[in-house]
Amino acid sequence: MTEYIRDRVFLFIFYIAAMVFITIFLYLEPSVRLRIGNLIYLHAVVLFLFLLYLLFDFLRCSRFLSGLVQAANALSGYRLTAMPAPKTAGQKKICRLLDKIERDNRQKVQDLQHSIEENKDFVMAWVHQVKTPIAAGKMLINHNEGQSQEQILDRLEDEFSKIDYFVEQALYYSRTDSFSNDYFISEYAFHDLVNPVLKKYAKLFIAKKISVALSDLDLQILTDKKWLEFIIDQLISNALKYTDVRGRVRISGRKYSSGNRLIIEDNGRGISPENIRRVFEKGFTGAIGRKARHSTGIGLYLAKTLALKLGHNISISSEEGKGTTVILDFPNNIDYTGVAREHSM
């Protein structure tokens, strides 16, 4: 009751002011000859009606608020159904707001659960992937008859390189949400970004006898070197993985009216039309990935996610059995302040 009276303090002030005004007006108006008894009677009737209104309003509000308290104490999945039926326009708006908050929270919980499941799947696939080179390394150590020390070290280096690749991929995956806190935009030529990745995979290029052709990589772009190198690493790694022995990879730069473009082409297995639209989806492995057991399907997802966060565009085209082309576009005049603000939200 005390809280109700406190909430209606302006209504009491208005009532008192109105009654004082009416009393003064009736007392001073010469055309109205109102006796004191009639004036008291008028005040008593108006006061009675005012108190009757307050009683009705108090019962209606207290019943609705009690219903809200009961709904708040109900189980989370039953709060909406336990809410009292609104009687006034204000109560209807409150109910609509609570309903919207409840639905938004439910959607957030579903998104969070979905994200947890995806992360769990990724971790499981990643663990299986990283176990393979570890097991191969152990076999090399335990069954090395007939191999020289140099051969064993060389093969162990290959297995360690695979582990390093998977660990780096997991590290970048874990940092995607905190991207805006960890990037530095500067000007680089394409060859500053491509050459370190080619050097990293030089041994694999030689082992598979895959030729690489480079052209027009002196074009300058604005980007973050670390993040873009990782993107290019994923793209070249995929090109190597899905290109057969004695295949070809071509990396070229191209300038167009509103920016620059880095093109990575291979003449590998290509991607089927039913899979091409989904290759950037998180966890999508496709038919080839399912054959290669325990594929995480995270490389192209990370490449796309990080490219967008840097303000770049990435697209892919492919013809099954003939090869794949990935294009990274670097538009001019990117507002990196806006990009950082957008991805920090």
Q: Is 216 left (phi over 0), alpha (psi -120 to 50) or beta?
A: left
Cβ–Cβ under 8 Å, residues 245 and 313:
no
The list of the chain residues with pLDDT below 50 reads none
For 294-304, write each residue's pLDDT tens digit: 567 788 999 99
Angle at the Cα of 133 from the Cα atoms of 128 and 139, rounded to 5 degrees: 115
Q: Is 209 left (phi over 0), alpha (psi -120 to 50) or beta?
A: left
Which pTM was predicted?
A: 0.70
φ, ψ at 21 (rounded to 5°): -65, -45
Report the DSSP pairing between strands 185-189 and 220-224. Answer: antiparallel
135 CB neighbour count, 10 Å cutoff: 11
Report pLDDT for 319: 92
Which residues have a Cβ under 8 Å from the Cβ of 4 and sit 6 or more positions away? Answer: 58, 61, 62
